[in-house]
Amino acid sequence: MNRLGAGAVTAAVVLAGAVPAATAHDDDRPPGPRVVAEGLDNPRQLNWGRGNDSLVVAEAGRGGPDCVDMRCAGATGAVTLIGDPHRHTPTVTSVVEGLLSVAGPDGSFAEGPAGADATDVEGQYLVAGYDPARFDLAVPEARGGSMLVAGTEEDGASYLIPYADLQAAEEELNPDGAQVDSNPYAVLYVDEDEDASPDGYALVADAGANTVWKVEPDFSTATDDAPPAYEITAWATWPTTALADGTDDPAGPAEFVPTSLATDDDGNVYVGGLGSVRPGEASVVQFSADGVELDRWDGFTAVTGVAVDDDHLYVSQLFGPTPPQPPGETPADEAPSTPGEVPGQVVVLHRHHEDPARWAVDVPLPAGLAADGYGNVYAAVNSVATAEGIAAGPQNPFGAVGGGAVWELDFSDAYRLDAAPGTEAPDSAEDAETTESTDG
């Protein structure tokens, strides 16, 4: 029942410019997905860094040595930067290390820094996770979410500063009116004026609060030793449908539970939700920059990542198309037993079409997504596993799971989700559009 105080974790924070955190591959590309980086611990959100030439990867870590009730904490969370991910030899480095992580004894299903994004300050990152200064593994109510800011000073010294207390905002505002809980999953930094720095604000998808928070800093109050003062407001909120004990009510509608954020060139924001992990009850909602709902796509399962390009919406279904039973409740003869049977899909659709056809590729346990303007789509895969993966066993309903990684996806073998068996896959997302239009 050790308490992890600020000194126990923040002292371990290292921001390194050239410390390899993963292995990038330089093989000739075969058909199918290309491994961009591997050796990642519970990789979650992907975002584009400054200049849009690198991927920011939030690693929720692998827990640590301090354990209570089969949950183990340690300073193993990180933020990884993948430079030039479209190249055969991307540059893969760790830019933030030593963040608080809580996981199972084998390091799987970690909670920690699930979201990260670059700010408009060179070398600075916003991280959604836990503030170690107010975290106690033995006290469930002392595990509230926070935003942290990490960066490197001009003299090369690193820093990690508590930036915004999301748990305090949840305790004060409790927008969904349910249990007080903050569990941030994704961060989106919005740069309001590219010619001024710093000047932006952050949106944070908080699954525990069922809310997307808007965090607006007052940079005039910042000092060398402290972050700016800030205001936290509820930018978007969904109603709770849980029972009084916090469990999901199977007779009621599924809760949205926001987990993922993305933006397009027009400043619109896309929010993906878990939908209580019920098959077909998760959604993606498009908002204007000021929080007005513009569009919605329903019928997904356990959305954990969203991305957009000029024409397409990409959606990660963590357990798609059907989530497993909880560990211990799935008969062994029904549980997946090989890596090829690990669940998960990334779905693509044309976001400007009415009732568009949906195509999917199998991706094991995907989370964060990122798309560029050249047709490249990247996914965090095996997102609940350590770098070594998860061994098959009685508490693992998936069978053996590969190690955490980032892939560049190949949609040439995509299959149509609502089509009859034997339907030919399109050669590309663009061909999917053509097929869709000819189908009427």
- Dist CA 301 CA 303 (whole Å): 6
Q: Given this model, what pLDDT does residue 316 score?
A: 98
312: nearest Cα among 284, 343, 338: 284
Q: 207 in a domain, yes or no?
A: yes
Between 66 and 220, the higher pLDDT residue: 66
Q: Provide the sign of the torsion angle of the four alpha carbons 376, 377, 382, 387, taken in this order.
A: positive
Distances (CA, A) of 265 to 68, 157, 322, 383: 45, 35, 33, 27
| 309-318, 328-337, 380-389: least confident range | 328-337
> How would DSSP label each residue in 79-112?
EEEEESTTSSS-EEEEEEEEEEEEE-TTS-S-BS
Q: 219 in a domain, yes or no?
A: yes
Structural domains counted in the chain: 1
- Dist CA 62 CA 114 (whole Å): 12
Query: At CB < 8 A and 24+ separation, what contacts does 270-273 make?
Result: 270/306, 270/308, 270/313, 271/205, 271/212, 271/236, 271/306, 272/300, 272/303, 272/304, 272/305, 272/306, 272/315, 272/316, 273/238, 273/303
Q: Given this model, what pLDDT does residue 140 score?
A: 77
Q: Given this model, what pLDDT does residue 402 score?
A: 94
Q: 269 in a domain, yes or no?
A: yes
**pLDDT digit string (tens) for 328-378?**
443 333 334 344 478 999 999 999 999 899 999 999 999 999 999 888 999
Q: How far is CA 208 from the centre of its chain?
A: 14
Q: 409 in a domain, yes or no?
A: yes
Please give the structure tokens belonging to residue 396.
């693992």
Question: Domain range for residue 153?
Answer: 6-438
Q: How far is CA 307 from the centre of its chain?
A: 11
Q: Given this model, what pLDDT does residue 1 score?
A: 25
Indicate the average pLDDT of the chain: 83
Q: Given this model, what pLDDT does residue 116 score?
A: 97
Label residue 119 by pLDDT band (50, 70, 90).
very high
Pairing of strands 229-237, 404-408: unpaired
- Dist CA 39 CA 50 (whole Å): 24
- Dist CA 37 CA 25 (whole Å): 7
**pLDDT digit string (tens) for 22-72?**
444 445 567 789 999 999 999 999 999 988 899 999 999 999 999 999 999
3-class secondary-structure state, position 171: helix
Q: Given this model, what pLDDT does residue 61 score?
A: 97
103: nearest Cα among 137, 128, 150, 58: 137
Contact by Cβ (8 Å): 54, 70: no
| 65-74, 88-97, 167-176, 422-431: least confident range | 422-431
Q: What is the CATH number of the domain that holds 290?
A: 2.120.10.30
Q: 1 in a domain, yes or no?
A: no
- Dist CA 368 CA 299 (whole Å): 19
189: nearest Cα among 50, 92, 286: 50
Helices (H), 38-161: none
